[in-house]
Structure 1
Amino acid sequence: MNTTVTTTTISSKKPLTKQEIIASNVKLLIEQLEAGHSEALTSYLTAMSHFHNYSFGNVLEIARQMPTATRVAGFSAWKQLGRFVKAGSKGIRILAPIVGVRRKTDEEAAKTNPAYPNKPVLVGFRSAYVFDISQTDGVDLPEMREVHGDPGDSIDRLAAFLKSKGIQVVYTEKIAPALGMSYGGRIAILPGQSKAEELSTLVHETAHELLHKAERRTATTKTVRETEAEAVAFVVGKAVGLVTGSASADYIHLYHGNASLLAESLEVIQQTAAVILAALEPPIAAEDSVATEARERAEVAA
């Protein structure tokens, strides 16, 4: 869909801080939503489903600079995978951490074991560049673990995750016409849904269980809570290959002109979706994912 949107220019003279980049992208999203471009949020949520291990600020940057990106890595990481960045490709700028070493004070040194190393500390951030797989050529990569229209074992894995958290899942027709309900420690699901619908509903209610209790429940409205839960279901559904609809245009009204509320919700949506997606991964795949992500981050920081 062709749309005209307002863009926020990032100056190359003075590097922006992480918070400035987040604020800039949130402002851009609000401008797009206020102009009626609800697909802007859909684009962001779609990107989030691909990049749930990236920081909030970097997810925003990836979605803003290349909404169609599906798998990104640094130049060296692609080279190690047998692929090479095409000449003339424009990198996606993200923030990479700068890690230094905080030396112990004389007082600390006197109290600790001399063999204990100095602690690494976050000094700041620098610009780094990653490239989407569409910008590369080379050997074919293994297909990413996705489920196209069929959740497979995802429902069972999510149920096991909920059980480990002490959250009971029951199936009952008493909640009709609702598809699911969250009661704080207990989730009810309407039987008879397709497997894809069942997973989406279970993810939605899981988001309520993880997000909307205690202080956060009293500090948010029902509309905000339902929208956050639906957004988490959208992100997770996209990530496992389910066919999902567009993000609701109600976001335009829900977050109208409120940058802080939008930023807060997008961040908790990302964090909650990441927790659920981790629970849906097979044990071996989860270990491989962590190792791969650590390697790619090291390459970006190099």
Structure 2
Amino acid sequence: MATRRGASPSDNQREQWAAERRAKLADLHERVVAEVGKITDSDQWRRWLQFAAKFHGYSFNNVLLIMAQRPDATWVAGYKRWKTEFGRHVRKGEKGIAILAPVTKRVTDDPQESPEERSEPTKQDPQLSAAEQTVQPARVLHTFKPVAVFDISQTEGPDIDVPGGPAFADVMPQLLEGQAPAGLYDQLVMLAEERGYTVERGDCRGANGFTDYTNRLIKVRDDVDDAQAVKTMIHELGHVDLHTPSDFGWETTRGCRGEREVEAESVAFLVAER
């Protein structure tokens, strides 16, 4: 039964709504597990990378949920955000794409404060993962709740530029040719230096680049175009952020193969595609 306007919901209504939210959350979590189970080969992983490159600000779970519900999505946002930020309106009758939004809890020592007062939805954009949320110092992640977002194809209004890039070509590995965005390589070098690494260009003995953990060195071959040098730098920074020498059994990433190489190459693909 619907609550009359201005009337407070009854305890039974609150309990019913809470039960519906729990059921929806359980369904979304089960769907995430099912979608993860579908990523079993390189083609499916590449498909996920292509999709994730369009939604770089979303968590892994939410990218899976969006892809499962609307695989043709290109740009999604909440109902209010489409209206207030972009001047577009969600068409009547469109079905929302269910994702998980973080709910934060305010840390307090006040025993008189109710759980409802301590817990409330974060005012951050629900597209971001929990780790990416900028939470006030006195707030911590409490739980998640289901929310709806809509793809731009479900809206009407002024034309806007949709972010995104070309699809990943189905080709054998090859060196990239051409120029990279101005200053990008230097910015990547700065990121490496912030992590305590020195960057050098030179002979990499057959590799495009490698990371030397012992000497805190990233080396990139000097006979490639800027585009390839940038891509290699992103790849090696992926190794720096994700891996340690114990992952390889030796002190450098030279000759890296298998799972660790897929992880670093996936980082390079996502960043370069974006």
TM-score where L is the length of structure 2: 0.66
Letter in 2 for 1:64: A
Letter in 2 for 1:57: N
Alignment match, 1:48: 52
| Cα pair distance change 1:79/1:203, threshold 3 Å | same
| Cα pair distance change 1:177/1:103, threshold 3 Å | closer
Alignment match, 1:171: 201
More helix by share: 1
1:72 aligns with 2:76: yes
Contact 2:87 2:157 in 1 (8 A): yes
User: Alpha-carbon deviations, 1:216-273, whole Å to 9, x = none?
Assistant: 556xx9411111111111111111xxxxxxxxxxxxxxxxxxxxxxxxxxxxxxxxxx
User: Alpha-carbon deviations, 1:198-228, whole Å to 9, x = none?
Assistant: 111111111111111156556xx94111111
1:238 aligns with 2:273: yes
| Cα pair distance change 1:176/1:163, threshold 3 Å | same
1:224 aligns with 2:234: no
Secondary structure of the structure 2 residue equivalent to 1:130:
strand
Which of 186, 198, 202 aligns to 2:229? It is 198
CA distance in 2, matches of 1:196, 1:118: 40
Alignment match, 1:15: 24
| Cα pair distance change 1:84/1:163, threshold 3 Å | same
TM-score where L is the length of structure 1: 0.60
Letter in 2 for 1:168: T
Which blocks of at least 5 consecutive residues in structure 2 are unaligned?
1-19, 112-135, 167-177, 250-255
In terms of Rg, which structure is larger? Answer: 2
Alignment match, 2:151: 132
Task: Provide the aligned C-alpha RMSD in A.
Answer: 3.2
Alignment match, 1:290: none
CA distance in 2, matches of 1:161, 1:145: 24
Alignment match, 1:295: none
CA distance in 2, matches of 1:118, 1:171: 42
Secondary structure of the structure 1 residue equivalent to 2:24:
coil
* Residue pairs, 1:1-302, within 5 angstroms: 14-17=23-26, 20-30=30-40, 33=41, 38-80=42-84, 81-101=86-106, 103-104=108-109, 119-142=138-161, 144=163, 150-152=179-181, 153-173=183-203, 175-184=204-213, 185-213=216-244, 222-239=257-274
Task: State the Cα distance separating 1:190 from its structure 2 match.
Answer: 0.9
User: Alpha-carbon deviations, 1:143-198, whole Å to 9, x = none?
Assistant: 64989x7531221211111112221111112x132111111221111112122211
Letter in 2 for 1:164: E
Letter in 2 for 1:129: A
- Report sequence identity in percent: 33
Which blocks of at least 5 consecutive residues in structure 1 are unaligned?
1-10, 107-116, 240-302
Count of residue correspondences:
210
Contact 1:103 1:118 in 2 (8 A): no
Letter in 1 for 2:158: V
Contact 2:32 2:61 in 1 (8 A): yes
